[in-house]
Amino acid sequence: MIEAEPDLLEIADALLPGTDLDTAVLAAEGNTHHVLLVPGVAAVRVSRRPLGAASMPRRIEVLRRLAKIDLPFQVPQPLTPVTEFGGRKAVAVSWIGGTALPKGEGDPAQIAEVLKAIGEVPLTDDLMEALDGRGKGPRWSAIIADEILPRLPERWQAEAGERLEAALELEPVPDSLVHGDLSGSNVHWTEDGKLLGVLDWDNAMPGDPAIDAALMAWHGWENVRKAVSAETYRRARTWDALFGVEHLVATMNGRPMTSPDGFVAAVVPWLEASQR
């Protein structure tokens, strides 16, 4: 049982009455949610901030709509309604077994399998209605140009501007489903190496599939290079070069930038490391 955040246990108990929580563990904290894992039973997601609370119903609706599609992998499904607890919102979703590949490791064939499986999910009208709407808010490049570049240290402003131009000069490609957080523990495999499930669809959106390819560089760029076409690899490196694709995705969800100073504080260390 976890010792910290006893309120999370209380919320889990309220959502899943009668469930033994002695084995519950707190997953690594996200920016907007706590996730309490109840092995073999459920994952309980609890909002940390107002933005997370406000977006939770839509994010859970994405899971429901993905479940209507015949997918070659499992997707967590809501076990409870989204419920409010004193200004925070919480929901329990189904447990997905299997294990993630270690950081820096991965068979290129497995990486290619994940990217193909997600990229081939049809962007139906039903699914599009629930996904993050890029057209409903400021364009990501305008956010970067207007909100981020002026806040960067002076030594980075020109370089980041050039990287932004390189991304904008990429030839348009047809939209595919982009997971938006396709790394680490969000992809689960069986013991014999078969794709089992894909978790955490909070950043899902229509977009360039090379964005997901860049996110799979968690397993090593060389593995990604062997898994995708030369053109997809080039696009992936271009997207990633701007601020690190995991940061870049946060500008692409159709919402205004709520904390540009916080965003800059996160990306400057990445920029510094990118020159080493």
Q: What is the mean pLDDT of residues 248-267?
A: 90
Number of domains present in the structure of the chain: 2
114 and 66, same domain (yes or no): no
Q: Pick the residue with more confidence: 233 or 31? A: 233
> Residue 4 has what pLDDT?
44
- Report whether pLDDT(230) > 50: yes
Q: What is the mean pLDDT of residues 93-118?
A: 92
> Residue 276 has what pLDDT?
61
As a whole number, the mean pLDDT across the chain is: 91
Q: What angle do CA 8, 14, 15 make, to 5 degrees?
A: 90
**Domain, as residue range, for 202:** 108-274
> Residue 2 has what pLDDT?
45
> Residue 87 has what pLDDT?
85
Q: Is 202 in a helix, a strand, or coil?
A: coil
Residue 141 near residue 256 (C-beta atoms within 8 A): no
Q: Point out the domain boundary residue: 66, 94, 122.
A: 94
> Residue 135 has what pLDDT?
66
Q: What is the mean pLDDT of residues 32-42?
A: 92
136 and 214, same domain (yes or no): yes
- Ramachandran area for residue 245 (φ above 0: left; ψ -120 to 50: alpha; else beta): alpha
Residue 48 near residue 34 (C-beta atoms within 8 A): yes
The CATH number of residue 38's host domain is 3.30.200.20
Q: What is the mean pLDDT of residues 80-87?
A: 93
Q: Does 1 reside within a domain?
A: no
- Report whether pLDDT(275) > 80: no
Distance from C-alpha of 34 to C-alpha of 264, rounded to nearest angstrom:
23
* End-to-end Cα distance, the chain: 41
The CATH number of residue 183's host domain is 3.90.1200.10
Q: What is the mean pLDDT of residues 53-57?
A: 87
pTM: 0.92
Q: What is the mean pLDDT of residues 8-27?
A: 93
> Residue 1 has what pLDDT?
43
Q: Are strands 83-85 and 42-47 parallel, antiparallel or unpaired?
A: unpaired
Residue 186 near residue 199 (C-beta atoms within 8 A): yes
